[in-house]
Structure 1
Amino acid sequence: MSRSYEQVCRIARALDVLGERWTLLIVRELTLGPRRYSDLLDVLPAMGTSLLATRLKHLGEYDVVRRTTLPGPGRAAAYELGARGEALLPLLASLADWGGGLQAPPPGYADRAAWSLVAMRLTAPGEAAGFDTLTELVVGEETLWLQGDGERVRTEVGPAPVKPGLRLTCGKATFYALAKGEVAVDDAMASGELVVEGAPDTARRFFELFSLSGGRHATSP
């Protein structure tokens, strides 16, 4: 059973649900679409299987997460954000913005392009929801996709569900440099560090809308 502050205060009550270590990182992972238990354990290995199971059960009681099944053969069991979990996205956006003002992390910290893409999506301007070009990103060994539907932006781990209108392939360092505005799309293409399959104008627009430079004091991904 999770610990409680035993206060009526709304902030304390929210922290009763969300304040335990790792909890918001589970929510972060589920912003990237439904994930199997093993997927969550792979990216949050320090949690351990017992703690992860306990956290998922606890969050499920408050509709922060809920069980679902993945499409395709086998209908694998997975977890996704519930309605109360979706309501946390503005909070995650504020944390991403605030975290951008911290000094660069020490060498050796775990790093995934997916985590930066989460921040890029959450802190993007409202007009980013209109970016309806299905975009697949291959960043090092990671593959992700993103698409706006006019109301929100959907981002998931894995290949795009159908042939994308835009495919961007680059290394992690180039991806961060593009996202932070340190390198222009045209220059990255000319150097061969970025391969664009689709319209270069659309690639430019992608990095205009989705960036790591939108934080108040952004210094690192």
Structure 2
Amino acid sequence: MSRSYEQACHIARALDVLGQRWTLLIVRELAFGPRRYGELLDALPGMGTSLLAARLKHLEHSGVLRRVMVTGSRHAAAYELKDRGAALMPLLASLADYGGRMGSPPDGFTDRAAWKVLAMCLTASEDGADFGTVTELALGGETLWLQGDGERVRLGIGAAPVKPDVRLTCAKKVLYALAKAQVLVDDAVAAGDLVVEGDLGKARVFFELFRLPNDASEAI
């Protein structure tokens, strides 16, 4: 049984659902689309299996997510956000923007490119939703794809479901520098740090639309 603040306050009632540790990070992972239990556990290092099960049950009961069946190598159960969960994307965007301005994290913190790309998508302007170019990112062992559908930016983990219009290959640090405008696309390509397969102009537009906060405390 989850604890409640027992306050008739909108903020307190929201925190009754979302205020427990790990809860919003589960929502973060489901922003990529349906995820199997094992995928969620792998994406949340430090979270035990029993705690994950409890948090998923709580969020399902609260109407934030639901269990679905997905196809792949085998038919298996997964979790996806319901409308009430998808409505949390502006909240995640605000948290991403706030966290991005806190400076570099301490050494040893787990770092995944997917989390940065999600932040880039969440904090993009409305023009990002109109970026219909299927873009695949190969980032040092992580592969992601995204495409604007006119209403939002669809983001997924793994290869794009169709042949991408543009494929960008680089190290995570190069992606971060490009997304903070610390390095220009043409310069990264000339240096061999970024490989662009497809329209170079679309790659430039991508990094104009999808950015990361550039904290003044970080060295450029």
TM-score (norm 2): 0.96
Partner of 1:29: 29
Once the two structures are superposed, residues 45-100 of structure 1 have per-residue CA deviations (whole angstroms, 9 ceiling, x without a partner) of 31100000000000001221111122335222111111110010011111111112
The answer to whether the 8 Å contact 1:102/1:219 transfers is no
Counterpart for residue 89 of structure 1: 89
1:189 aligns with 2:189: yes
Alignment check: 8 A CA contact 1:114 1:144 kept: yes
* 8 A contact 2:67–2:79 mirrored in 1: yes
Q: After the TM superposition, which residues 135-174 of structure 1 pair with which residues of structure 2 at under 5 Å, given as runs?
A: 135-174=135-174
Which residue of structure 2 lines up, in the alignment, with residue 49 of structure 1? Answer: 49
Report what 1:15 is aligned to.
Answer: 15
Secondary structure of 1:72 counterpart: coil
Residue 114 of structure 2 is aligned to residue 123 of structure 1: no
| Distance across 2 between alignment mates of 1:115 and 1:218 | 21
Aligned to 1:5: 5
Q: Structure 2: how far apart are the matches of 1:146 and 1:128?
A: 10
Matched residues, percent identical?
A: 65
Residues 64 and 81, structure 2, Cα contact 8 Å, conserved in 1: yes
Return closer, same or farther for 1:217/1:130 CA change in 2, 3 Å cut-off: farther
Are the counterparts in 2 of residues 212 and 218 from structure 1 also a CA contact under 8 Å? no
Question: SS of the residue aligned with 2:46?
Answer: helix
Gaps of 5+ in 1: none
- SS of equivalent to 1:26: helix
- Structure 2 distance, partners of 1:152, 1:216, is 26
Aligned to 1:103: 103
Distance 1:219 1:8, change over 3 A: farther
Q: CA RMSD in A?
A: 1.5
Matched residue SS, 2:93? helix
Query: What is the DSSP-based 3-state SS (H/G/I as helix, E as strand, rest coil) of the residue aligned with 1:174?
Result: helix
Offset, 1:104: 1.6
Alpha carbons 1:144, 1:155 under 8 Å: kept: yes
Consecutive unaligned residues of structure 2, counting only runs of 5 or more, are none
Task: Tell which has more relative contact order, 1 or 2 (C-alpha 8 A, sep 6+).
Answer: 1
Paired letter, 2:61 = E
**Structure 1 residues 217 and 129: CA distance shift in structure 2, 3 A:** farther
* Alignment deviations for residues 146-168 of structure 1 (CA, whole Å, 9 cap, x no partner): 00011111001000011100000
The alpha-carbon deviation at position 103 of structure 1 amounts to 2.5
SS of 1:47's equivalent in the other structure is coil
Deviation at 1:217, TM superposition (A): 6.6
The 1-side partners of 2:52 and 2:135 are apart by: 31
Letter in 2 for 1:40: L
Mapped partners of 1:197, 1:188: distance in 2: 14
Q: Structure 2 counterpart of 1:38, which letter?
A: G
Corresponding residue number in structure 1 for 2:201: 201
- Contact 2:102/2:215, CA 8 A, preserved across alignment: no
TM-score, normalization: structure 1? 0.95
- Higher alpha-carbon deviation: 142-151 or 92-101: 92-101
Q: Which amino acid aligns with 1:123?
A: T
